[in-house]
């Protein structure tokens, strides 16, 4: 990818392409491998810091390439120790990512798009316009920056990554998959794939593609209703990806990967909180091995939804458990700084 000054974004090149570029500059191929290691294993963002390269080569790199690294624009600290970041991209777009510390875990919630093209009614990002997809390096950088933040603030490295920030990951499939490769490979950050969860609003054909690619990371589906009429209202994407289509895709995915799927379910008062809703969800859960995370709703100014009462939530969860469905109640983190699930939306401007 060329930038405005006609320099190539070096991280847009895979290793063979980088080796070709080095040969064209009259450099030996192994030097490309050294630079590749600096970029992806050591997360280096300055050619000057690549200390095992000659000054002449570093100067040549600076003349021909650029590293379009992501920077932290602003950070907010929650009373529960959650940290929300707005990140600024090379083209001045802003995205958000969150560090979520919990007992035994240090989780990064990362974005995959600038804005979102889906219009889920309960999600602040869904009320934004999708500007563009994030590149693999822009997703990778969020992980690196949040990991650094975890170490600096809590003395603990990241243990988990969730693609649950801004955007629909499966509508940026290629770049998301490449970012996960850079995060998990030995040539990259070498994190375990099982520590990564990709959350989708439900794109049936792309769930099947995950199966074809036999992915090792975890898949979570934002379900929120196991009834097409209700889900159409809450999540308009369901009109093109019905529950029947999703069930078929999930069966295919499980047959290929043998990965248990997590269903995320927010219980809205008077919307999807009845015993009948629980019955329908239990029935949907029988398609493949799964677990259910019941998530606390985090109000946004655009929507009129409110949380169901504690009694209803407990009764709902108990019904699922009585039908042998692994069910967890998840409490929100970072709600006081709009960092909780469904609250990510850019409110600030770049000067």
Clarify whether 187 is annotated catalytic. no
125, 166 Cβ separation under 8 angstroms:
yes
Task: Retrieve residue 80's tokens.
Answer: 């529960």
- Compute the radius of gyration of the chain from its Cα atoms: 21
Clarify whether 116 is annotated catalytic. no
Q: At what angle do helices 204-212 and 243-257 cross, to 10 degrees?
A: 10
* Number of Cβ within a 10 Å radius of residue 117: 14
Residues 220, 293: Cα–Cα separation, whole Å? 9
From residue 267, how far is each of 203, 280, 344 by CA, in Å? 22, 13, 19
Return the half-sphere exposure (C-beta side, CA atoms, 13 A cut-off) of residue 97.
Answer: 33
Task: Retrieve residue 67's tokens.
Answer: 């590293």
Residues 308, 225: Cα–Cα separation, whole Å? 14
End-to-end CA distance of the chain: 26
Q: Nearest to residue 118, comparing CAs of 107, 110, 126?
A: 126
Residues 60, 38: Cα–Cα separation, whole Å? 16
From residue 49, how far is each of 46, 71, 123 by CA, in Å? 5, 17, 41
List the catalytic residue out of 109, 123, 285, 341. Answer: 341
List the catalytic residue out of 27, 96, 168, 280. Answer: 96
- Catalytically annotated residues: 96, 341
């Amino acid at each position: 990818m060329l930038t405005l000054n006609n320099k190539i974004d070096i991280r847009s090149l895979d290793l063979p392409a980088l080796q070709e570029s080095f040969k064209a500059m009259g450099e030996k191929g192994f030097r490309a491998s050294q630079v590749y290691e600096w970029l992806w294993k050591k997360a280096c963002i300055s050619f000057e810091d690549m200390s095992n390269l000659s000054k002449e080569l570093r100067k040549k790199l600076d003349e021909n390439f650029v590293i379009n690294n992501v920077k932290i624009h602003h950070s907010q600290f929650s009373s529960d120790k959650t940290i929300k970041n707005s990140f600024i991209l090379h083209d001045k777009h802003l995205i958000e990512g969150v560090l979520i510390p919990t007992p035994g875990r240090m989780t990064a919630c990362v974005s995959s798009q600038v804005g979102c093209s889906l219009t889920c009614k309960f999600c602040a990002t869904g009320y934004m316009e999708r500007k563009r997809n994030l590149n693999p390096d822009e997703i990778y950088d969020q992980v690196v920056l949040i990991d650094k933040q975890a170490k600096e603030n809590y003395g603990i490295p990241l243990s988990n990554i969730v693609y649950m920030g801004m955007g629909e990951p499966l509508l940026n499939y290629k770049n998301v998959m490449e970012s996960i490769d850079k995060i998990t490979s030995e040539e990259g950050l070498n994190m375990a794939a099982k520590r990564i969860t990709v959350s989708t609003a439900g794109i049936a054909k792309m769930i099947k593609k995950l199966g074809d690619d036999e992915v090792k990371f975890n898949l979570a589906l934002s379900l929120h209703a196991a009834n097409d009429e209700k889900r159409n209202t809450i999540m308009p994407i369901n009109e093109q990806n019905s529950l029947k289509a999703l069930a078929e895709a999930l069966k295919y995915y499980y047959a290929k990967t043998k990965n248990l799927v997590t269903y995320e379910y927010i219980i809205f008062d008077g919307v999807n909180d009845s015993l009948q809703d629980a019955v329908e969800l239990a029935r949907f859960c029988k398609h493949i091995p799964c677990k259910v995370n019941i998530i606390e709703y985090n109000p946004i100014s655009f929507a009129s939804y409110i949380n169901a009462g504690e009694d209803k939530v407990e009764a709902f969860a108990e019904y699922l458990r009585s039908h042998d469905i692994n069910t967890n109640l998840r409490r929100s983190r970072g709600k006081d700084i709009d960092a909780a699930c469904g609250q990510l939306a850019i409110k600030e401007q770049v000067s």
